[in-house]
Structure 1
C-alpha cells in the first residue's frame, strides 16, 4: 500500500521561515487526508553532531529528517546534485510504500536525479514551485548558473514531472497540460501562534503600519524605499501614523539607501527600525498593528509565488495595504479588508497609505471585523482540492 509522501527541499526547518512553514503546513494537510509524511529539510545543527544523532525529529507533530544526512551510518552526496539522501529515506520507509516524492523549489541537477528515483521505485513526482527569481546582484557566473537551473526546472522539468503545485493562477495557466493544483498557502490555525488579534476597543490613535521581512537585494523585493518616500510625503501633510519596520536596522537601511538619510531623520518620530526579530515576536507585533504593508513589482517573480506576509496578516485578522500581484485580488477587496494600490508609482503607494491613515474610526473598526471573520488559508478549506490532486497523480507504478 502506497501510503507515504516524502517532502524534500533545502528549507531550514528550525527557523520558521516561509519555506519551512509551507512545507510543514502541506505535510500536515496531507496527514489530515490520511497519508504518512516525512519532511526532508535542514536542521540548525547538522546531524551526527548532536548527542542523540539528530537524524529524525518531530516539528509541529511532523516527522522530519535532515536532508544532508537523513539516516545514521550514511553520508549521501550533496542533495542539490544527487537523490541519494531521498533514496536512503525511501529505503528506510519501504520503497513500496512511497506514493509520491514532493520537491520544493529544488535545484535542477538534484531534481533530475529525483525524477529518475521516482521512476525507478514507481512513485509519483510532485514539484512545488513558488519561485521564479530575477537576476540578483553582480555575480555574473553565479547568476548565470542559477538562472539556467531555474529556467530548466520551471520550463522543462515541470513537464517531465507532470504533477505541479502552483501558488498562483498565473503560474498554473502556464502549465495547461499538466496535473496541477493551485495552493497559495495553508495553515493549521489551531496552533497558538495563529491566534487572531483581538478587536481593539479604540481606533482614535494614529494608524500603525508594520513591515516585516527581508527587503531583498537592493531592497527591490518589497519596495521599502518607495514606502519610506510615501510615508515622508504623508508626514509632510501633517498626517499622524506609526510604522514599525522589522527585519532590517536603520543603519542597514541607510547603507543600501543613503539618499534617504534626511527622510529617515525627519521620520524619526514615526518610523522605528527593529532589525531581525524572532518569528514569534514578528507575529506578536503584527497582531498589535492596524495595517500590514508591502508593495511588489507586478512581474514574473511576484506572480509566480504568493506573499507569505499577506497570509500571516490575513490569518491574524489584520488588513493589508499592497498592490495587485499573484492572486492577492482574490482575497483583498479595496476598502473592505485592506487597501489595494493600482500600481507602485510613488503617488499610487502614497494614495493607498493615505486611504489607510485617513480611514475613520468607524471604518477602521468595520474593516477589522471583516478581516477577523474570514481566513481563506485555513487548512480544512483545502483538504478536498488536495485530496483530488493526490488521487489523480501521474507517474505512479
Structure 2
C-alpha cells in the first residue's frame, strides 16, 4: 500500500472584486492566483461589490475554491461598517467553510484590503506569511483636496503598513519595486492575460478608416482630452478617416469622470463614439476589430508607478498600441514594432502619431499586429507560474536575489 501524503497547503486569497470577469482588479487577482497555484489550490474569500452577479458553477478557473461573504445592506454607512469588519468576517468565513490554518501556505491580498486590523486578525487567526499586491501609488494632484484628501491619506497609510508589516510584496512596476525592496522581499509582476481567451484580430483594411479604441473609465489618470484635441487638429481629409470608440463610459460620464470637456466634442460626432459600460466580451470584440488602442498619460509619479492593464490586453488581441512611454512600458512596446510610441503626452504629439498611423499600409499594420500578439506572451499567466508560485506558495519564504534580478531583467 502506498504511503498516504497530505495535500499541499493552499493559498488564501482575500478579494472584493467582480470575479471572475470583472474589472482590471479582478483580472489582476485571478491572473496572479492562476500563476501561483500550479499543482496546489487556492481559496478565494470574496466580499462581493454591490450589484455583482455571482458566478455560476464552473465559471471559476480550475483549482480555485470560492467562499463568498454576504453583504445584505446597501446604504453607505452599512457598506463602511462591513468594510471595516472585513478581517473578522473573513476569519468567520474560513471557520464556517471548515478551512483550518494547517491547510494554508500563505495569504494574498491587494493593497485595497490591507489594514492594521487585517494584519492583527491574520496574525492571530491564520498565522501564515502575508503577501500584499501593490498596483499603484497616488499623487495629490489626482484628488480634489490634494494631499489632505481622505482617499490619498488612506492609500499612503496602507502603503506604509505594507512596507513595514507585510511578509512579502508583489509590485506591478519597477518603480514600486524600488520603493519596497529595501524593506521587504519584493517581486515585480506586470498585469497578466490569458492568451487563449483572445480571438485573432479581424481589423478591416485601413483604406476604410483608422479605428481607435479607448477602453475603461479614464478618471484623472488617462488624458482623453488630448486625444480628442489631436483628432480635431488633423487636416479635414485625415480627420474624416479617424474613428475613436470609447468603451466604458457614456458621453455624460466622460464629462464627469475624465478630463473631457463636452465642448471639445462639438463637431466630432462622426469621429468619437461612446459605448457606455459594456461587457468584457464586448471589449475583446472591439479590440479584435481595432487598429490601435490609445493610451496617453502624463509623466507623473502615478504613471511611472503603475502599469496600465489596457496595454497587455490590447497586445493579446493583436491590437497595436498608440501611446507615450511611462513606467515600464518601454520594456514591452517598441516604436514601429508593437505600436507607435508618441514623443510625449501633448495633443500635438498625438496628432503626429495619428498622421503616422494614417500612412501605414495594411502589410505594415499586420506586421505590427503579429508583433503585438507575440509580445503578449510575456504577460500570459502561464509564463509566470514558476516565478510566482515559488514566491507565493513555495517552500522558501523569500525569492532569491537571482530570481528577482531575472524578473527585472538586470
Per the TM superposition, whether the score is higher than 0.5 is: yes
2:387, 2:295 → 1: CA distance?
Answer: 29
Residue 287 (str. 1) matches residue 292 (str. 2): no
CA shift digits 1:254-293 (9 cap, x unpaired):
56768553x4232222222222211211111111000000
Name the residue aligned to 1:93.
99
* 1:163 CA drift (Å): 0.3
1:132 aligned to 134, 137, 140, which one? 137
* 1:316 CA drift (Å): 0.9
2:30 aligned to 15, 18, 24, which one? 24
* 1:183 CA drift (Å): 0.7
Name the residue aligned to 1:228.
228
Map 1:200-215 → 2, pairs under 5 A? 200=203, 202-215=205-218
CA shift digits 1:206-258 (9 cap, x unpaired):
21101111021xxx321111110001112446342221111222344456768
CA shift digits 1:29-85 (9 cap, x unpaired):
222x222111222336789x99xxx99985234322234569xxxxxx734445112
**8 Å contact 2:193–2:313 — kept in the other structure?**
no
* 1:139 CA drift (Å): 6.2
Unpaired runs of at least 5, structure 1: 71-76
Q: Tell me how large the CA RMSD over aligned residues is.
A: 3.0
Unpaired runs of at least 5, structure 2: 1-5, 73-80, 399-410
Q: 1:68 to 1:207 in 2, by over 3 A?
A: same
1:56, 1:39 → 2: CA distance?
Answer: 15
> Which deviates more from structure 2 when the two are superposed, residues 252-261 or residues 263-272?
252-261
1:19, 1:63 → 2: CA distance?
Answer: 19
TM-score (norm 2): 0.81
1:188 aligned to 194, 198, 203, which one? 194
Map 1:1-397 → 2, pairs under 5 A? 3-13=9-19, 16-31=22-37, 33-43=38-48, 59-61=60-62, 62-68=64-70, 78-91=82-95, 92-108=98-114, 111-120=115-124, 121-135=126-140, 136-138=142-144, 144-177=149-182, 178-190=184-196, 192=197, 194-198=198-202, 200=203, 202-216=205-219, 220-236=220-236, 238-239=238-239, 240-254=241-255, 260-261=262-263, 263-375=264-376, 376-390=378-392, 391=394, 392-393=396-397
* 1:318 CA drift (Å): 0.5
Runs of 4+ in 1 over 3 A off after TM superposition: 42-47, 54-58, 67-70, 79-82, 134-141, 200-203, 235-239, 251-260
SS in 1 for 2:123: helix
SS in 2 for 1:244: strand
**8 Å contact 1:235–1:267 — kept in the other structure?**
no
TM-score (norm 1): 0.84
Q: Number of matched residues?
A: 373
